[in-house]
Structure 1
Amino acid sequence: MDFGYEGKVAVITGSSKGIGRETAGQLAALGAKVMLVARGEEELIRAREEISQHGEVDYIQMDVTAQDAADEIIDGTISRFGRIDVLINNAGGSFAKPFDEVDIPDWEQDIDLKLMAAVKVSKAALPYLKERGGAILNMTAVLGKTPPASSLPTTVSRAAGMAMTKAMSKDLGQYGIRVNTVCIGLIKSDQIMKKWQNDAPELSWEEYSRLDKHNIPLGSIGDTHEAANVITFLCSDLASYVSGAAVNIDGGAGHAL
């Protein structure tokens, strides 16, 4: 099966570990040239070494919220690879508190990281994506669709990312640019691994992952490759008629389509 990645170039923010790292590996193995972007250079170097065994990859050490970061990321990618076909806005984190405990700087920082960084990098990449069409994938979260209590500001930032995705898909389709989002639920990550070690170190990961308290219909916390599989498909030629979609990757745990 041909995913159509051969010779294409993908930029992935937040790609030194987790879902971004796994997706980078899959795209490189399918023939894409991949530019990794993240803050931590040690992890970037490690990721590049591992992925380069399967395909062509390089990295840019960058905080996506820094001034001029978007231009530096895109300019660096063009200088290295000469084109951009896929942009995956994956940089983010989890910051969730009750409304009355969230300070204004927390709001600003969260929105800068999860929403405005994606806006800026997408804008910087747009002239190159317009040349031959391509795909933008914005990472959001399933809780952005049905925010629970004490989930601010992260659910608001993610909900805004979904709205942005739909609006972008309407505006950019004329250029052959598809824009989608994946709405992540509980997926194995550093944060969840730390929670496991803090909450139930006596359990194996498999036992902890399958606890009833997670309320996952498919029975366990997802793995990074399961999320990366969906992202890889959505950004590929196989999904050439999919745009403006918000796809849940949550084992059925979400309460909205």
Structure 2
Amino acid sequence: MSELMDFGYQGKAAVITGSSKGIGRETAEQMVKLGAKVMLVARGEEALKEAAEELREFGDVDYIAQDITESGAGEKIVKAVIEKYGRLDVLVNNAGSSFAKNFEDVELADWEEDIDLKVMAAVKMAKAALPYLKKQGGAILNLTAVMGKTPQPNSLPTTVSRSAGLALTKAMSKDLGQYGVRVNAVCIGLIRSDQIEKRWQKQSPELSWEEFSASKADNIPLGRIGDTSEAANVITFLCSDLASYVSGTAVNIDGGSGHAW
């Protein structure tokens, strides 16, 4: 991110779920470097503590270990943010999973768990945050997946949950715009992650990351797996003042691999 541009994060407070690692952590780092105060949220306290200690090099960071699917989790998290920072300007609903199977193999409990994590947890977080976001016109960013726009075989229940996240984003943007609250989504494609790195080390340790990335990118026009920083760049922009007239949109971060706008 360019230091010559004012993203408007100075003095603002953000909460990012699923932020002990990956895209969430990278987004937190970018926002902190731009002046935001950030509350990290995830289930594992050890990883959260480590991430927070590393990010405090750049600014004001705190954390709360919390399963966001638990009853009252949204209120507990938002209360912690307000007690710590006195305000809330940005909510990034990043927590999720990549659970995907054939329709016949998905149990009813799998459906409930996936929708609870990827849809209802985002709803609960937004409901808890909204009274504070309305005070100065904040931003909500929902992470979804490219397959939510164009579901593929063996992609359930995650593509249904992600499609619901897209509809939620659009509908919320219509309802909350009157308060100056912007709601957007990003649709993630193949992005470097712990899971992919483990596959690299197991399958092709003789290859450099760049070589392995290219070998797995047959259906990606840009010819490689994306980096977490590239996803965080877009998220950080959409939540910033530079995107002050952007709401209700879903941006693909997929190297061109998606089949829908």
Alignment of structure 1 residues 147-186 onto 2, 5 Å: 147-186=151-190
If the length of structure 2 is used for normalisation, what is the TM-score? 0.96
**AA paired with 2:239?**
C
Counterpart pick for 2:9 among 5, 10, 14: 5
**Would you say the 8 A contact 2:111–2:157 is kept in 1?**
yes
For residues 196 and 78 of structure 2, what CA distance do their matches in structure 1 show? 31
Q: Following the alignment from structure 1 to structure 2, what is the Cα–Cα distance between the partners of residues 203 and 93?
A: 27
* Alignment partner of 1:115 is 2:119: yes
In structure 2, the partner of 1:208 is 212
Higher deviation after alignment, 109-118 or 201-210: 201-210
Q: Name the CA distance, whole Å, in 2 between partners of 1:209 and 1:105.
A: 34
Say which of 42, 54, 57 aligns to 1:53.
Answer: 57
1:229 aligns with 2:228: no
Contact 2:217 2:224 in 1 (8 A): no
Matched, 1:145 2:149: yes
C-alpha distance in 2 between matches for 1:110 and 1:159: 12
* Distance across 1 between alignment mates of 2:27 and 2:235: 7
Stretches of structure 1 that go unaligned for 5 or more consecutive residues are none
Residue pair 2:217, 2:225 contacting (<8 A) in 1 also? no
Matches within 5 A, 1:3-42: 3-42=7-46
Matched, 1:86 2:90: yes
Task: Determine the C-alpha separation between the residues in 2 that align with 1:185 and 1:198.
Answer: 22
Give CA-to-partner distance per residue, 1:55-107, whole Å, 9 cap, x none: 10000000111111111101111111111000000000100000000000111
Instruction: State the 1:200 CA deviation.
Output: 2.9
1:186 Cα deviation after fit:
0.3
Q: Secondary structure at the match of 1:210?
A: helix
Deviation at 1:203, TM superposition (A): 2.4
> In 2, Cα distance between the equivalents of 1:9 and 1:78?
9
Of 167-176 and 204-213, more deviation after overlay is shown by: 204-213
Residues in 1 aligned to 2:99 and 2:218: alpha-carbon distance in whole angstroms:
19
Alignment RMSD (CA, Å): 1.0
- Rounded to whole Å, the distance in 2 between the matches of 1:213 and 1:123 is 39
Rounded to whole Å, the distance in 2 between the matches of 1:149 and 1:158 is 15
Partner amino acid, structure 1, of 2:75: D
Q: Which of 107, 127, 142 lines up with 1:103 in the alignment?
A: 107
Moved over 2 A (4+): 194-204
Aligned equivalents of 1:207, 1:77: Cα separation in 2:
42
How far the C-alpha of 1:212 sits from its partner, in A, is 5.4
Q: Give the TM-score taking structure 1 as reference length.
A: 0.98
Match of 1:250 in 2: 254
Q: What is the percent sequence identity of the aligned residues?
A: 72
Of the structure 1 ranges 207-216 and 29-38, higher mean CA displacement relative to structure 2 is found in 207-216
